[in-house]
């Protein structure tokens, strides 16, 4: 991690990171005193440092896309949650590694079985990942190679700032009565939000083998105060034998990130002045030529993918570059390249309901983990779409419509080139989906707006798009598969979010008698 002590303003609560790290001996005594109180309250320094391994199990929920996948971008939109079950985190405190194993499934309709099959997954974790639990965090502060900083106060709690042996800057809030850790806070990079402060909160301390450990764990980020994890521990085990401790592969989280080559871009001509500019089969959309510029559809996937697509589009027509970007909706996969696009000076076109969240994304700093927008700051220039917006300069006409009747994304747009009869969209469908829970949206929008595409170019789709007939057939097949899945689950007595399917490919289905 680069020097975390440069001037930084993710939020006022992080100001202490940068106010207390001068090597002043006067600050050392309060910090050491507070840390000694914490260690004593948790069970004593010697007891804590004799713990080699920690395993805890439990269950909970996490926020899909950290809150960036909701039905709308409104701050009051209900969060989409994923349920977590059969979770076990096994931590090797001496080697600073862990293995997180869990079963997880969305508490909302999902398009593929991997999201609903409850298969157990495993993910290795490194030193930085462990700072969201008080025991590894306190041991990191007790490490002789750690550096203690200032003691401040936040909402009545004394706050210890320290830097781990690996160079990670951490805040720890301490309960003034019990002297137990109330929370830790650190900063992580985020493609959509820049630098994000993650506060991990600890509640419900219970003694376990002479050590005080929390049974309530919750993570909250400094964007909209979004809770991203709620976890209830149902068991702790300390210094477990080798038969209970799973093998933990070396985590890559703390390894230097190699410089990656720009993603490969495929450019497929679709019509005169229209190309599908795509990275892989899950990340693309058309570039459309106008008299003196180009318009690019979507900023999906990542910063690198978006910049690669912009660069490829800029090579298509001598003397013309991309100046405008159409973003279908706010979901974090579809806006992962938004900051990158704005860093190139692109103006953004989207539904009016997305303007506020886009301004939030662009206004956030990325100081600890600089991205392209931090290196080349530009303001957001936003053009709203209400029901319909037309871009027409006499050489090209592009119609942009508000998506109607789509329960996955209320504030979304799609676009249509009437001369070439090309439609472009994000999340109407995907040839690789197993189930489609909103299959009626395509035909309902075509009918409502009186458009007749021959070709549909989906953000999540193959190079060159698919004919409208194939797109409709895919939607039909996926809708029928979803209906069968729901019927099978009902027979098995297993309720599933999204069942029964509410739409066929044309409209909402009649409600059954209840």
Q: Which residues lie across from 161 on neighbouring strands?
A: 171
CATH code for the domain of 318: 3.60.15.10
Question: 42 with 187, same domain?
Answer: yes
| CA torsion angle 509 443 77 84 (round to 10) | 70
Residue of 339, 286, 342 whose CA lies nearest to 309: 286
Q: Token pair for residue 397?
A: 């006409």
Asked if the structure places residue 450 within a domain, the reply is yes
pTM for the structure as a whole: 0.91
pLDDT at 256: 53
Q: Which residue has the higher pLDDT, 88 or 495?
A: 88
Does residue 329 contact residue 340 with C-beta atoms inside 8 Å?
A: no
Distances (CA, A) of 255 to 65, 125, 258, 281: 24, 11, 9, 29
- Structural domain containing residue 158: 30-68+82-238
Question: 222 with 288, same domain?
Answer: no
Residue 21 has pLDDT above 80, yes or no: no
Q: Token pair for residue 294?
A: 């180009």
Asked if the structure places residue 510 within a domain, the reply is no
C-alpha angle with apex 299: 298 to 300, nearest 5 degrees? Answer: 100
Does residue 50 contact residue 42 with C-beta atoms inside 8 Å?
A: no
Asked if the structure places residue 352 within a domain, the reply is yes
C-alpha angle with apex 218: 212 to 219, nearest 5 degrees? Answer: 125
Asked if the structure places residue 6 within a domain, the reply is no
Burial class (CB in 10 A: 0-12, 13-18, 19+), 24: exposed
Residue 233 has pLDDT above 70, yes or no: yes
CA-to-CA distance for 200 and 359, rounded, in angstroms?
26
pLDDT per residue over 384-436, tens digit each? 999 999 999 999 999 999 999 999 999 999 999 999 999 999 999 888 899 99
Question: 282 with 345, same domain?
Answer: yes
pLDDT per residue over 280-319, tens digit each? 888 999 999 999 999 999 999 999 999 999 999 999 999 9
Asked if the structure places residue 251 within a domain, the reply is no
Asked if the structure places residue 14 within a domain, the reply is no
HSE of 298, CA atoms in CB hemisphere, 13 A: 32
Phi/psi at 48 (5° precision): -65, -40
Report helix, strand or coil for 197. Answer: strand
Does residue 167 contact residue 177 with C-beta atoms inside 8 Å?
A: no
Q: Token pair for residue 446?
A: 């075509």
Question: 270 with 231, same domain?
Answer: no
Question: 227 with 279, same domain?
Answer: no
Question: 126 with 190, same domain?
Answer: yes
Residue of 130, 94, 86, 98 whose CA lies nearest to 249: 98
Question: 191 with 277, same domain?
Answer: no
Residue of 477, 329, 339 whose CA lies nearest to 403: 329
Asked if the structure places residue 503 within a domain, the reply is no
Q: Which of 238, 253, 281 is the last residue of a domain?
A: 238
Structural domain count, the chain = 2
Question: 278 with 216, same domain?
Answer: no
Question: 334 with 447, same domain?
Answer: yes
Asked if the structure places residue 99 within a domain, the reply is yes
């Amino acid at each position: 991690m680069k020097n975390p002590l440069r001037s930084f303003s993710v939020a006022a609560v992080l100001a202490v990171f940068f106010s207390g790290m001068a090597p002043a001996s006067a600050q050392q005594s309060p910090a050491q005193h507070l840390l000694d109180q914490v260690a004593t309250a948790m069970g004593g320094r010697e007891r804590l440092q004799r713990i080699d391994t920690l395993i805890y199990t439990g269950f909970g929920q996490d926020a899909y896309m950290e809150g960036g996948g909701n039905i709308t971008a409104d701050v009051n939109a209900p969060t989409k949650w994923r349920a977590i079950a059969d979770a076990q985190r096994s931590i090797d405190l001496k080697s600073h590694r862990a293995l997180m194993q869990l079963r997880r499934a969305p508490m909302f309709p999902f398009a593929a079985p991997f999201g609903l099959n409850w298969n157990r997954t495993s993910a290795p974790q490194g030193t930085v990942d462990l700072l969201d639990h008080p025991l590894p965090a306190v041991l990191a502060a007790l490490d002789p190679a750690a550096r203690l900083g200032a003691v401040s106060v936040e909402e009545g709690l004394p706050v210890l700032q320290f830097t781990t042996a690996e160079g990670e800057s951490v805040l720890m809030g301490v309960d003034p009565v019990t002297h137990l850790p109330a929370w830790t806070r650190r900063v992580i990079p985020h493609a959509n939000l820049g630098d994000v402060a993650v506060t991990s909160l600890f509640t419900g301390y219970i003694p376990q083998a002479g050590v005080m450990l929390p049974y309530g764990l919750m993570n909250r980020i400094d964007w909209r105060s979004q809770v991203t994890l709620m976890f209830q521990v149902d068991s702790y085990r300390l210094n477990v034998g080798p038969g209970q401790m799973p093998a933990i592969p070396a985590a890559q989280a703390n390894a230097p990130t190699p410089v990656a080559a720009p993603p490969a871009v495929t450019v497929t001509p679709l019509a005169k002045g229209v190309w599908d500019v795509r990275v892989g089969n899950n990340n693309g959309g058309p570039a459309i030529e106008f008299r003196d510029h180009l318009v690019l559809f979507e900023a999906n996937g990542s910063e690198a993918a978006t910049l690669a697509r912009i660069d490829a589009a800029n090579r298509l027509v001598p003397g013309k570059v991309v100046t405008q970007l159409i973003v279908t909706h706010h979901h974090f996969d579809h806006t992962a390249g938004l900051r990158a696009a704005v860093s190139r000076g692109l103006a953004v076109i989207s539904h009016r309901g997305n303007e506020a969240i886009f301004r939030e994304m662009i206004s956030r700093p990325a100081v600890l983990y600089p991205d392209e927008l931090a290196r080349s700051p530009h303001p957001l220039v936003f053009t709203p779409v209400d029901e319909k917006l037309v871009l027409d300069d006499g050489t090209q006409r592009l119609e942009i419509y508000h998506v109607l009747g789509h329960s996955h994304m209320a504030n979304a747009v799609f676009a249509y080139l009437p001369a070439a009869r090309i439609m472009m969209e994000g999340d109407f469908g995907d040839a690789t989906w197993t189930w489609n829970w909103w299959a009626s949206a395509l035909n309902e929008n075509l009918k409502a707006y009186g458009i007749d595409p021959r070709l549909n170019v989906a953000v999540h789709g193959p190079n060159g798009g698919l004919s409208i007939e194939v797109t409709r057939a895919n939607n039909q097949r996926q809708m029928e598969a979803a209906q069968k899945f729901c019927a099978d689950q009902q027979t098995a007595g297993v309720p599933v979010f999204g069942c029964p399917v509410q739409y066929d490919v044309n409209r909402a289905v009649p409600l059954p008698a209840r």
